[in-house]
Amino acid sequence: MILNSDISVPAGSAGPADPSDGRGMAARGLLRSRLSCQAFDPRATLSRAAIEGLIGAAVQAPSAFNLQNWRFVVAHSPNSRSRLKPAAYGQEKITDAAAVVIVVGIEPVSDAFSALMNRDEEDGRLPASERERLDRQIGRSYSDPCAGKAEAIRSASLAAMTLLLAAEADGIAACPMSGFDPAEVARAFALAAGETPVLLVALGRNADPAQVQKQRRPVSAVSSFA
Amino acid sequence: MILNSDISVPAGSAGPADPSDGRGMAARGLLRSRLSCQAFDPRATLSRAAIEGLIGAAVQAPSAFNLQNWRFVVAHSPNSRSRLKPAAYGQEKITDAAAVVIVVGIEPVSDAFSALMNRDEEDGRLPASERERLDRQIGRSYSDPCAGKAEAIRSASLAAMTLLLAAEADGIAACPMSGFDPAEVARAFALAAGETPVLLVALGRNADPAQVQKQRRPVSAVSSFA
């Protein structure tokens, strides 16, 4: 936990939010305890409400211009997980898990993303003036397709990490999987042009309660200060 | 919070971890309360120990084959933040923040990543047999440079999201920034070939304690079940 001495502000101004309310400690424990489930109990099932709860957390992730350029396609039924499995090189976790969330990133310059903004306008979430401003920002920032693709991967990954931590908070075992053929996943689940499957998140119940987190490199090996 | 009825397991087997221990609730509150700081108090400073604490949380993020193909370059001194600012299109947050973490993704097939594994071997963290296995997996999975680049963005984003939530847990204001010129950032901080700056995370103290989180699309607008 951070010490009060770690953030220094001039006398007279308010200090940082007090992390000693227990929330900070609890959250830090969560970050430490999360692990990528290596074997799911194939008998466990997961309700649609529970999965929607995790997606509700995932959409709290940040994104450039608050674009929220992501979508969540849930392979929930045994049939749809069987359909997904060959695109994930036959990994057993796909069918052993209770559900697999395909976290999809959307390129900001694409019909798919325009459709999302159209719906925002129709539903009254996006005033026309704001839409024009957003269209200009998107045109300026993502005219290079590489930048658009990078933003799709970045946004979807930020959302996926939030989903993983929400699962840990809710007592649901989860495993992020990047071992899949993006084109095959896109085909099997009819993703639109400009939509990229970024990560599969398998959800369910850990068959091995004794599993421990893999080791990490020390901070000193991966950080430098300038 | 998940209800016990949301995960269903056959009678006789152990249930999911009990989320009613308060940790789950606290973590869910954290996911909801996190926001991207829009204005930093330029008077606040942040200790190196506090930043290292956040990086210590970030490295707990998952990565394919546990590659941990990321690195954290911290623009901490006023000088180095001034050096970063033009590469981030002159955004004031870079110099108003107390520090900016450049979250760097590393392509698995690169001299930069080989160097990281070499150091793992030297430091005794990576046995030679394991190194051979990892080299084969990397060769199989990332021979396509696009796949390697995507993995760099994905891994670094997962770590960045974890860092953002650790900051929230520690009472430190944070703002993820993707508005920068990757080539300019790489040049200004001497990143190696195969290293990509994926996200800047500005850290400090929020100058506007009344700031609220931006609205999100409802879950129903961004999810589908199959």
Q: Give pLDDT tens digits for B81-118.
A: 999 999 999 999 999 999 999 999 999 999 999 999 99
Q: Is residue A114 part of a domain?
A: yes
Query: Hey, are the CB atoms on A158 and B153 less than 8 Å from each other?
Result: no
| Pick from A6, A23, A219: CB nearest B29 | A23
pLDDT average, residue stretch B133-160: 96
Residues B72 and B54: beta-carbon distance below 8 Å:
no
| Pick from B34, B154, B199: CB nearest A199 | B154
Query: Hey, are the CB atoms on B221 and A158 less than 8 Å from each other?
Result: no
pLDDT average, residue stretch A148-164: 97
A-chain CB neighbours of B13 within 8 Å are 41, 43
Looking at residue B29, what is its pLDDT? 86
- pLDDT confidence band for A21 (50 / 70 / 90): low
Cα gap A76→B209, rounded to integer Å: 41
Searching chain B, which residue's CA lies closest to the CA of residue A163? Answer: B31
Decide if pLDDT at B21 tops 70: no
Decide if pLDDT at B48 tops 80: yes
**Domain span holding position A117:** 37-209
Searching chain B, which residue's CA lies closest to the CA of residue A38? Answer: B65
User: To the nearest whole angstrom, how far is the Cα of A161 from the nearest Cα of chain B?
Assistant: 5
Looking at residue B9, what is its pLDDT? 58
Query: Hey, are the CB atoms on B10 and A71 less than 8 Å from each other?
Result: no
Query: Hey, are the CB atoms on B205 and A53 less than 8 Å from each other?
Result: no
User: To the nearest whole angstrom, how far is the Cα of B169 from the nearest Cα of chain A?
Assistant: 4
Looking at residue B26, what is its pLDDT? 79
User: To the nearest whole angstrom, how far is the Cα of A103 from the nearest Cα of chain B?
Assistant: 10
Which residues, at least 6 apart from B79, have a Cβ–Cβ distance to it below 8 Å? Answer: none
Q: Is residue B215 part of a domain?
A: no
For the domain that residue B91 is a member of, what is the CATH number?
3.40.109.10
Looking at residue A6, what is its pLDDT? 62
Cα gap A103→B152, rounded to integer Å: 17
- pLDDT confidence band for B16 (50 / 70 / 90): very low
Q: Is residue B73 part of a domain?
A: yes
Q: Is residue A98 part of a domain?
A: yes
Residue B125 CB burial class (10 angstroms; 0-12, 13-18, ≥19)? middle
Phi-psi region of B157 (alpha: psi -120 to 50; beta: other; left: phi over 0): alpha
Q: Which region among A189-193, B7-11, B151-155, B203-207 has the lowest average model confidence (pLDDT)?
A: B7-11
Q: Is residue B20 part of a domain?
A: no
A-chain CB neighbours of B189 within 8 Å are 226
User: To the nearest whole angstrom, how far is the Cα of B2 from the nearest Cα of chain A?
Assistant: 6
| R_g over Cα of chain A | 20
Which of B97, B113, B87 lies closest to B185 in space, CA to CA? B87
| Pick from B2, B31, B172: CB nearest A16 | B172
Q: Is residue B1 part of a domain?
A: no
Query: Hey, are the CB atoms on A28 and B166 less than 8 Å from each other?
Result: yes
pLDDT average, residue stretch B150-178: 97
- pLDDT confidence band for A135 (50 / 70 / 90): very high
- pLDDT confidence band for A23 (50 / 70 / 90): confident
Looking at residue B3, what is its pLDDT? 46
- Residue B9 phi/psi, 5-degree rounding, is -130, 155
- Residue B125 phi/psi, 5-degree rounding, is -85, -20
Q: Give pLDDT tens digits for A24-39.
A: 787 788 888 999 999 9
- pLDDT confidence band for B27 (50 / 70 / 90): confident
Whole-structure pTM value: 0.93
Cα gap B187→A60, rounded to integer Å: 33
| Pick from B41, B70, B172: CB nearest A222 | B70
User: How far is residue A127 from each of residues A124, A130, A133, B91, measured CA to CA in Å?
Assistant: 7, 5, 10, 26
| Pick from B73, B119, B209: CB nearest A14 | B209
Looking at residue A8, what is its pLDDT? 67
Q: How many structural domains are present in chain B?
A: 1
Q: Give pLDDT tens digits for A96-121.
A: 999 999 999 999 999 999 999 999 99
Searching chain A, which residue's CA lies closest to the CA of residue B191? Answer: A224
Average model confidence (pLDDT) for chain B?
91
Average model confidence (pLDDT) for chain A?
91
| Pick from A30, A68, A225: CB nearest B23 | A30
Searching chain A, which residue's CA lies closest to the CA of residue B125? Answer: A217
- pLDDT confidence band for B30 (50 / 70 / 90): confident
pLDDT average, residue stretch B26-38: 89
Q: Say which DSSP state B38 is in.
A: S
A-chain CB neighbours of B112 within 8 Å are none
Query: Hey, are the CB atoms on B26 and A31 less than 8 Å from each other?
Result: no
Query: Hey, are the CB atoms on A7 and B205 less than 8 Å from each other?
Result: yes
Query: Hey, are the CB atoms on B22 and A22 less than 8 Å from each other?
Result: yes
Q: Using CA of residue A136, residue A141, residue A144, residue A145, what is the dihedral sign?
A: negative
Decide if pLDDT at B14 tops 70: no
Looking at residue A5, what is its pLDDT? 52
Cα gap B26→B49, rounded to integer Å: 24
Greater pLDDT, A207 or B32:
A207
| Pick from A6, A9, A56: CB nearest B47 | A6
Q: Is residue A217 part of a domain?
A: no
Q: Is residue A6 part of a domain?
A: no
Looking at residue B1, what is its pLDDT? 42
Q: Give pLDDT tens digits for A175-218.
A: 999 999 999 999 999 999 999 999 999 999 999 999 999 999 99
Decide if pLDDT at A9 tops 90: no
Cα gap B218→B150, rounded to integer Å: 28
Searching chain B, which residue's CA lies closest to the CA of residue A75? Answer: B226
Which of B92, B100, B80 lies closest to B204 in space, CA to CA? B100
Token pair recorded at residue B39:
């204005």
